[in-house]
Every structure is written in C-alpha cells, then in structure tokens.
C-alpha cells in the first residue's frame, strides 16, 4: 500500500523540476542528486500522508466497528428483553388460564353443591307435604289454615329483620307444628265439648310426638323446636315443658301467635270465626303473659299496615275451599 500511494507522487515529481532547456547545457550529477533527494522527500511526504490516511481510515473503521458492535449489543439486549417479555407474557397467560380453570372448577363444585342442596331441600319439602297430608286427613286441619300460619310467620320474621333464608325456614317449618296430632285419638281431636283433664294430657302429647316424628335431620331442626314448643307460654305456664321467655325458641314464639290468631279468626265446629279486630285484641291482651310482647308489637304493626288482611285475602283467593277443622287446641 505504501508503494502504490507513493508512485503517483514520484511520477508528478518527474515533471515538476524543469530541466533547463538551454542549448548546450549539461545535466550534471548534482542535478540528479537534487532531483533524487526531492523525489525521496516527496515520496516520504506521500508515504506519511498515506500512512496518516491509513491510520485515519483505521480509526474511522474502528469507530464504525465499535458503533456497529454497540448496535449489535443493543440489538442482542433488545432481543433478549423481547424474549424475556414474551416469556413473562406466556407465563402470565398460563397463570391466567390456570386461574380461570380453577375458577371454573370452583364454580362447577359450587353448582354441584347447590344442586345437591336443592335436591335435599326438595326431598325435605316432599317429606313435609306427605306429613301434612297425613295430618290434615287425621286432624281435618285445612291447608289454608297452615298456609295462613306460614305466611303470618314469614311476615313477622321478616319484620323482625331476619335474613331471607331464615324467614323461609321458619315459614316451611311452621306448617308442621301440629304434625304430632297424627297420634292423638280421633274422639279427643274432634271433640266438641270441653276436654277433661285426662283428655287434655293426651292432647299435650302431640308436641312431643311431633318433635319425635321429625327425626334428627338438620333440615327439620327448627320444625322440631316449633312442634315441641308452640304451646309454651312467655310466662312459663304453657306445655309440655313449662319453658318461659327466651327459653322458648324464637320460631316457636312466632308460630304461637300466628297459630292462635288464625284459630281465633277461623270458623270451627264449636265456634264462629272472630273478627280480625277481636283476634288482634286477644293477642294484644296475651302480650307478656302468653306471648312474647316484642313479637306481639310486630304482629300488631303488621295488622295496622293491612298485611294480615292481605295475606288472608290472598290465601282465600288461592284456596277458597276451606274445611272446618280444629287446631291450636
């Protein structure tokens, strides 16, 4: 490279120092030496310039190389980051997929549990309707009496601020309050005269029989308490156990009021139906003695709001075919 750079310079030198065009002039060795030195100087200059250019070029090349290396490194870094980001995104997507699958599994399990519970509930309700069928045949209690009691109980429980599922449980449990009467002899159940002490002892037994008949299933827990305690009194003078105040379950205290009110305001073989006003007065008179005064207050409020009347009318419309019977004995 050094030789090639120098060559054009030497060629240009060959023409630069003019040889004196003097006729007869002699070209001496000094001139040649001078020309040679000049040529060598020029060649050195050219050589130095070429070297500088080569160094400059090498420097530029190195800088470019460095810049390219930096760009490559940046590209590699970016590619690495991109791969990492892709991996994170894939991991995240997989986590979300797993989460979604877990949620679906949970939802499926909950749905299965809901179906199982619903089935259990249906079976329980079916059991109730069979028991009631037997009870109504035996006792001549009307379906509409039980339905009104149930609706009154639900309205009271709702008014006391109880959660919806408890209101429902109190409602369906209330219809079994007299189920134990299946065991009570007909001549006592259908008696139209005042019951003797012995007969009344037999009647009392329906609370205990009812509780026993309802078995041990959790579904009937409230129903058992109601069957056992619906003739207990707030002042402790009721039967069969003489429980008083809050010893008596809340459900039974509510059913007691609904059952007595409906018995008073319904026609029976041995009596006419009382007016709602007269029935309500009797309930109010029993507050603090026979009944829980707080529940009586709620019941009276429901009457004033026309809720009891509406329930009674709705039940009558859904089942106008009322049969006389006896209950709340």
Tell the smallest beta-carbon distance from residue 249 to Fe ion (Å): 15
Which one of 24-32, 81-89, 104-112, 171-179 is the stretch in contact with Fe ion (CB under 5 A)? 171-179
- Taking CB under 5 A as the criterion, the residue among 178, 199, 229, 262 binding Fe ion is 178
16: which residues sit within 8 A by CB, 6+ positions away? 38
- Minimal CB distance residue for Fe ion: 178
Residue number, 169 or 178, with CB nearest to Fe ion: 178
Integer Cα distance of 122 and 286 in angstroms: 37
Determine the interface stretch with Fe ion among 47-55, 103-111, 170-178, 316-324 (rule: CB under 5 A): 170-178
The whole-angstrom separation of Cα 294 and Cα 6 is: 122
DSSP H stretches of helix in the chain: 2-15, 29-139, 143-159, 164-174, 186-189, 197-213, 221-229, 250-264, 276-285, 293-304, 307-318
What is the spatial distance between Cα 65 and Cα 237, in angstroms, rounded to a whole number? 107
- Cβ(143)–Cβ(325) under 8 Å? no
Stretch that binds Fe ion, among 30-38, 176-184, 269-277, 299-307 (CB under 5 A): 176-184
Rounded to the nearest 10 degrees, how much is the dihedral formed by the CA atoms of 117, 121, 126, 130? 130
- 227 or 315: whose CB is closer to Fe ion? 227
Stretch of 41-49, 66-74, 119-127, 175-183 lying at the interface with Fe ion (CB under 5 A):
175-183
Which CB, 139 or 292, lies closer to Fe ion?
139
Task: State in Å, rounded, how far the first CA of the chain is from the last one.
Answer: 130
CB nearer Fe ion, residue 135 or residue 250 = 135
> CB 180 → Fe ion: shortest distance, Å?
8
Q: How many residues bind Fe ion (CB under 5 A)?
A: 1
The answer to whether residue 209 forms part of the interface with Fe ion (CB under 5 A) is no
Say how far apart CA 154 and CA 166 lie, in whole Å. Answer: 9
321 prior amide bond cis, ω within 30: no
- Least distance (Å) from Fe ion to the CB of residue 328? 6
Of 105-113, 149-157, 172-180, 187-195: span binding Fe ion (CB under 5 A): 172-180
Residues that bind Fe ion (CB under 5 A): 178
């Amino acid at each position: 490279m050094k030789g090639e750079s120098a060559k054009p310079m030497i060629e240009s030198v060959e023409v630069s120092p003019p040889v004196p065009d003097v006729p007869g002039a002699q070209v001496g060795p000094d001139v040649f030496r001078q020309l040679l030195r000049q040529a060598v100087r020029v060649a050195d200059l050219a050589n130095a310039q070429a070297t500088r250019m080569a160094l400059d070029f090498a420097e530029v090349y190195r800088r470019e190389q460095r810049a390219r290396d930096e760009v490559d490194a940046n590209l590699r870094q970016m590619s690495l980051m991109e791969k990492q980001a892709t991996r994170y995104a894939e991991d995240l997507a997989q986590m979300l997929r797993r989460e979604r699958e877990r949620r679906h599994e949970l939802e499926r399990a909950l749905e299965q549990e809901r179906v199982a519970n619903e089935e259990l509930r249906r079976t329980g309700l079916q059991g109730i309707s069979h028991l009631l069928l037997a009870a109504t045949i035996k006792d001549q209690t009307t379906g509409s009496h039980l339905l009104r009691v149930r609706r009154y109980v639900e309205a009271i429980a709702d008014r006391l601020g109880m959660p919806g599922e408890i209101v429902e449980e109190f409602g369906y449990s209330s219809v079994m309050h007299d189920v134990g009467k299946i065991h009570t002899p007909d001549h006592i159940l259908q008696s139209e005269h005042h019951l003797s002490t012995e007969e009344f002892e037999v009647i009392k037994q329906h609370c205990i029989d009812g509780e026993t008949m309802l078995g041990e299933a959790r579904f009937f827990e409230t129903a058992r308490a109601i069957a056992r305690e619906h003739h207990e009194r707030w002042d402790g003078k009721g039967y069969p156990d003489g429980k008083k105040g809050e010893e008596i379950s809340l459900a039974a205290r509510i059913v007691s009021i609904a059952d007595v009110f409906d018995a008073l305001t319904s026609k029976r073989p041995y009596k006419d139906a009382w007016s709602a006003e007269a029935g309500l007065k009797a309930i109010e008179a029993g507050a603090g003695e026979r009944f829980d005064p707080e529940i009586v207050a709620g019941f009276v409020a429901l009457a004033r709001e026309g809720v009891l009347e509406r329930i009674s009318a709705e039940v009558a419309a859904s089942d106008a075919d009322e049969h006389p019977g006896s209950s709340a004995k």
